[in-house]
């Protein structure tokens, strides 16, 4: 069972590309200041709990699908619920549970592999991958946001632009929109964000007793 691209992009949303730094002279230093501030702010939280909306649009802007999900993070641990799947990670092991199939796949978290995780995204994962530009500020409802435009260094990627909206006052991520070369657009918007709430370590471990009849595929 493979993790859907949408889930991987969701992790990108909460990492926010916010710890990305680069020595490239093509990057906007003002954009870097904003991203660094988001990273510093995020790292100050002991825990983060958020709900979000995921939307897919075609090139004409027609909404093709809308889904909602939640994520909780605590240090290197996280739990993500989205689109009929739940991902548990206790910092060393990853459980990917598919509700429809009642199946869980277990993998060892390999920090040296290409596996995308929130903790890896918060350790300069995107240093070499993007150029950044601060497009300015605008109002979204009562919220003042800063828009940062990212373009991949590798032009063979299947997307050409990522737009980040940063809540200027809170210094937190508000939304991310990924523009695919084929025309589709994937956006993620944070609906609620709560920080420093208690989160027991057991929350980040898959408990098979809570999933009667579950099929286990242990790939460790």
Average pLDDT, the chain: 82
Q: How many CB atoms lie within 10 A of CB 53?
A: 14
pLDDT at 17: 44
Model confidence at 114, pLDDT cuts 50, 70, 90, reads very low
Whether residue 122 has pLDDT greater than 90:
no
Q: What's the Cα-to-Cα distance from 205 to each of 129, 134, 191, 213, rounded to whole Å?
A: 32, 39, 25, 18
pLDDT at 23: 41
Q: 123 lies in which domain range?
A: 5-218
Query: pLDDT higher for 206 or 182?
Result: 206
pLDDT at 44: 87
Residues 69, 51: contact at Cβ < 8 Å?
yes
Q: What is the pLDDT of residues 57-110, one digit of tens each?
A: 999 999 999 999 898 989 889 898 988 899 999 989 999 999 999 999 999 987
CATH number at residue 64: 2.50.20.10
pLDDT at 7: 52
| Average confidence (pLDDT) over 135-154 | 91
Rounded distance between C-alpha atoms, residue 54 and residue 204, angstroms:
22
| Average confidence (pLDDT) over 34-57 | 87
pLDDT at 132: 85
Q: How many domains does the chain have?
A: 1
């Amino acid at each position: 069972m493979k993790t859907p691209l949408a889930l991987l992009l969701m992790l990108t949303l909460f990492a926010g590309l916010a710890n990305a730094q680069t020595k490239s002279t093509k990057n906007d230093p003002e954009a870097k200041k904003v991203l660094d501030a988001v990273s510093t702010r995020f790292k100050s939280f002991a825990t983060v709990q958020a709900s979000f909306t995921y939307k897919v649009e075609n090139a004409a802007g027609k909404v093709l699908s809308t889904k909602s999900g939640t994520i909780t993070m605590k240090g290197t641990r996280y739990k993500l619920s989205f689109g009929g799947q739940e991902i548990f990670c206790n910092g060393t092991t990853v459980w990917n549970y598919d509700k429809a199939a009642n199946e869980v796949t277990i993998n060892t978290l390999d920090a040296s592999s290409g596996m995308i995780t929130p903790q890896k995204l918060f350790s300069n994962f995107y240093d070499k991958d993007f150029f950044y530009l601060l497009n300015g500020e605008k109002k979204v409802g009562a919220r003042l946001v800063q828009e940062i435009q990212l373009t991949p260094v590798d032009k063979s990627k299947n997307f050409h632009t990522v737009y980040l909206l940063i809540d200027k006052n809170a210094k937190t991520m508000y939304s991310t929109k990924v523009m695919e070369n084929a025309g589709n657009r994937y956006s993620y918007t944070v609906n609620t964000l709560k920080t420093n709430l208690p989160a027991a370590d057991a929350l980040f471990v898959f408990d098979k007793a809570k999933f009667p009849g579950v099929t286990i595929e242990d790939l460790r």
